[in-house]
Amino acid sequence: MNGLRRLRRKLCAGEILCRRGLGVDVSGWSWQGCRGRFVSHPLMVGGTYAVAWLATLLLGLPPRLGFSPVVRAVGWASVAAGVVVGGWVFRYRNPVVMISSTYATFRKMFHGCQVAEESGRSDPLVVGGPQKYTRNPLYFAVLLVIFGWGLATASTDVLVWSVALLGWFSLVLIPFEEKELQMLFGERFSEYVENVPMLVPFTKRKRLRRSSAASKT
């Protein structure tokens, strides 16, 4: 516990936090004006489940749904697909650097820092592999796993949890993170955003086709 307190003081004071051998050196960070508590990414994911569980309870929804074996099989297939997508992501991106960079942005957001302040992100802009189909393949993989788990187990609270996570990713976390990526990578990231959907693969391509078809008529 004392170690966590010392780590928090170092982060908020802008001291050096360097993971040896991982290429993560965030010395010289400026955290002036930051506020809030030291909140971890897993804690917030767990918080979305707590909100989903409470919503299920308050709305009087049944804890289990009468899904057929076919629907449950689709759920297990979704879980497997999420695991595959997650593994595919880590083939193209160093998992430690990616998680460290994402956590740095996440922490900055909950300290109330401005997007323009340094966060110590060290991962490059990767547009290959699953990133060709969605700008956030790891979040998409998480949604596939949780939504699939809800279908496979017919659990109402888990299904509501997947919806809560979708809202959290789409409305809060990804917009903040992508503002920082826009600042870091500029025009390259703008072109990437134009051609690749934020979360669900292939949706942007369909929209582009419909808009181009409409412009021709």
Contact by Cβ (8 Å): 162, 150: yes
Give the relative orientation of helices 69-92 and 137-153 as an angle to the nearest 10 degrees.
160
What pLDDT is recorded for position 180?
A: 84
- What gap in Å lies between CA 59 and CA 3, rounded to an integer? 42
The domain locations on the chain are: 38-216
Range list of H helices, the chain: 2-13, 41-58, 69-92, 95-110, 137-153, 156-168, 174-185, 187-195, 203-216
What pLDDT is recorded for position 136?
A: 94
What pLDDT is recorded for position 100?
A: 73
Task: Report the amino acid identity of residue 193.
Answer: V
What pLDDT is recorded for position 134?
A: 96
pLDDT digits (tens, 9 = 90+) for 178-199: 988 888 889 999 999 999 999 9
What pLDDT is recorded for position 37?
A: 34
Burial (CB count <10 Å: 0-12, 13-18, 19+), residue 44? middle
Which positions of the chain have pLDDT values less than 50? 4-5, 7-40, 206-209, 211-217
Closest C-alpha among 134, 159, 160 to residue 78: 159
